[in-house]
Amino acid sequence: MTLLERYIFRIGLSAFLTCLAALTAVIWITQALRELDLVTGKGQTLAMFLIVTGLSMPALVAVIAPVALFIAVVYTLNKLNGDSELIVMSAAGTPPQQLIRPLLALTGVVAVVVALMTLYVMPASFQELRHLITKVRADFVANIVKEGQFSSLENGITFHYRERSGDALLGIFMQDRREPDRAIVYLAERGQAVDFSGQSYLVLEKGSVHRQMPNTRDSSIVAFERYGIDLAALSREAGDIVYKPRERSTTQLLLPGDPDDFIVRFQSGRLRAELHERLSALLYPFAMMLIAFAALGEARTTRQGRGTAAGAAIVAVVALRVAAFAALSLTVRTPWGAIWVHGLPLMVIAGCLAIIFQGARVKAFGARLTRWGSTMLLPRVPLLGRA
């Protein structure tokens, strides 16, 4: 890079890192507030809270990085124009290729980061997050219930113990209503959660099991001296974990594998849309950077103003993202929608490059279209005084 290109690259890089850090921090805080229940309601440590919220960072970076790049390019071009540097460069005959080259280099770095996040890091973080959440929900005795309170889980389990004595729980009551027409109640004087062969069990001592017979009011009572309950079996997510499309690796999306998998059989459209969204993610940094450069890359005096151009660029970016979401929805329903997922950013890139490098011809063509449209729309009024 020349000295001028390095100067533009430094301005753009510092602005991008600042925007990325600020936007990520703001959105991370909103996400973290949703997970406060891990600490307040499920008895988790602050370290676990930070791990769970930190695992969502790759997804945030993948979404925020193109937007931060757009803001950084707008800031860089406005700064160069505000300091009259763009005007001096234009008067010195600096071609658009030299001005856009450092911004393309910055965009290439951002695109590589976004591709790594979406293709590898993000699905791996989502899988790890699913494992942690499943572990927290499965071991509910250690992580959720509190002394002297009735704690109800989402899957129909209600648990209560009177007090804690060391590692033991005293005065245990547990009701299992996972089956609506069948209730099981466990009563025990004491119990203790133990780990055996990687599984968590609740061992009850000196108690009884009350079972209600299905579709009747009859019940059976069985007394016991010692009784073990598999805590993982009580979790709604017990058994093999079925990963959602966003939690699957890119290889699993390319090669779905087992045709009997529920997601593969009934949600193949979502798998297809997720795959094409990841593959097209690296195109959006280039599209957003070129939108900003096409709107603001031309030198303008202070009298001409740049507010209208900046507003048009923002509208174009918003329209691109809305159209991309619509294309993903179409891809869920039909494979042909994938053409639009990749075609939209490519068309924007081609259009912006035409404006940047063939600006005069594009403007002349637009003017001819405008004049032609005016002549077609204006009513034909006969001239006065003519027979």
Q: pLDDT digits over 307-362, tens only?
A: 788 888 899 999 999 999 999 888 888 888 889 999 999 999 998 888 887 765 55
Residues 98, 2 contacting (CB under 8 angstroms):
yes
141-179: burial string, b at 16+ Cβ within 10 Å, e else: bebbbeeeeebebeeebebbbeeeeeebbeebebbbbee
The CA–CA distances, whole Å, from 42 to 133, 173, 268, 272 equal 11, 19, 35, 36
Q: pLDDT digits over 272-301, tens only?
A: 888 888 899 999 999 999 998 888 877 666
Q: pLDDT digits over 111-151, tens only?
A: 999 999 999 988 888 888 877 766 665 555 655 566 777 77
- Domains of the chain: which residue ranges? 3-136+243-371, 146-230
Report if pTM > 0.95.
no
pLDDT of the residue at 59? 86
Residues 260, 92 contacting (CB under 8 angstroms):
no
